[in-house]
Amino acid sequence: MALLDIRNVNIVYKMEGHDILACDDVNITMETQDSLGIVGESGSGKSTLAMGILGLLPTNITSIAGEIIFKGTNLIGLSREDYAKLRWKELSAVFQKSMNSLSPVHKVGKQMAAIYRVHMPSASDSECRKMGYNLFEKVGLSSRVYDAYPHELSGGMAQRVAIALSLMFHPALVILDEATTALDVITEGQILRELVTLQEKEKMASIVITHNVSVVATTCKKVVVMYAGRIVESGWTDQVLVTPKHPYTQGLLKSFPAFHGERQSLRGIPGSLPDLSMRIPGCVFAPRCPHAVDRCHKERPSDILLGEHWRVACFLVEGDEKQ
């Protein structure tokens, strides 16, 4: 049984006078200890999908359809009480600039103990301290951080605290949503390397959500490329990022510098995201695609299987299926 099975998920934001389809028929399967990267420019639906998995979408302005099966349980429609039992114990998250979520007037250890006691109400102060020390060792922090205030920590240290919090109950799946975006390049590299080590040691699965393909190349075995709410390409990272088939994936890679091989000029993708309040009958990328033909604007491409786990939603690859 898959750890996480997302089936035909559609997420709609209900705005005044119109609905915005933020995730359009999304399908993703993850096994135990998988590492999956979700990439795409801002507005592609990455964070919306993450919030849908975590049950954190505002119910008054959103609707979600389909199935999100986590360890055999459909999370869609789950009560708040049942979700609370899953979060942090089985399913946790690290968000962008999550260090800002720490209270500035309480010591780090006191905040960690309060979170720990949500699921372990009878834990003593010494148990909480031992828990904190163990977590800090995992993420490369000194035990002294336990008695420090957040303002005494650097950005990298505070983000490590956030990562430590996500590992508190040894969850089966951790979602990292732009978790290193606010950090400098050196600190980001250190934390990414530590994340890879943690995934192996803790035997956990992870979803890394980012607009930076280099982060996925560093930390993930599989990748999903999203554009305007749809998955346009997915597969093994070393296949998709080395020999991309979808024009959007190709465009993303051309907009990032290569550290090896021949130098090439960086080029952005002309145009902008479509209006997601309008129903798009064809390929969502067609208005920006240099290879688009009349069919692309009228007919929605189906996923074409090119190899194990490698799928591309593009008419250009028709006939390339591996038997």
Each residue of 10-47: pLDDT tens digit? 999 998 878 999 999 999 999 999 999 999 988 899 99
Question: What is the predicted pLDDT for the residue at 34?
Answer: 93
pLDDT at position 323 is 41
Vertex 37: Cα angle to 80 and 191 (nearest 5): 90
Distance CA 60, CA 48 (A): 15
Query: What secondary structure does DSSP assign to 133-178, as a single string?
Result: HHHHHHTT--GGGGGS-GGGS-HHHHHHHHHHHHTTT--SEEEEES
pLDDT in tens, 127-142: 999 999 999 998 889 9
Q: Residue 29 belongs to what domain range?
A: 4-90+169-317
Do the domain assignments include residue 258? yes
For residue 314, pLDDT over 60 is answered with yes
In a domain, 137, yes or no: no
Residue 58 lies in a domain: yes
pLDDT at 61 > cutoff 80: yes
Of 118-122, 144-148, 188-192, 281-285, minimum mean pLDDT range: 188-192
pLDDT band at residue 285 using 50, 70 and 90 as cut-offs: very high
Q: What is the mean pLDDT of the chain?
A: 89
Count structural domains, the chain.
1
Percent of the chain with pLDDT over 90: 59
Residue 37 lies in a domain: yes
**pLDDT digit string, tens, across residues 193-252:** 888 888 888 889 999 998 888 889 888 999 999 999 999 999 999 999 999 999 999 998
pLDDT band (50, 70, 90) for residue 99: low
Average pLDDT over residues 251-266: 68
Please check whether residue 216 lies inside any domain of the structure.
yes
pLDDT of 38: 96
What CATH number does the domain containing 10 carry? 3.40.50.300
29 within domain boundaries: yes
Say if residues 13 and 47 touch (Cβ distance below 8 Å): no
- Quick check: is 300 in a domain? yes
The answer as to whether 34 is a domain residue is: yes
Pairs from 41-45 (Cβ < 8 Å, separation ≥ 24): 41/211, 41/227, 41/252, 41/269, 41/273, 42/211, 43/228, 43/273, 43/276, 44/226, 44/227, 44/228, 44/229, 44/273, 45/11, 45/226, 45/228, 45/229, 45/230
What's the average model confidence in pLDDT over 62-74?
A: 95
Asked whether the predicted pLDDT for residue 319 surpasses 80, the reply is: no
Name 244's Cβ contacts closer than 8 Å, sequence gap at least 6.
233, 250, 252, 253
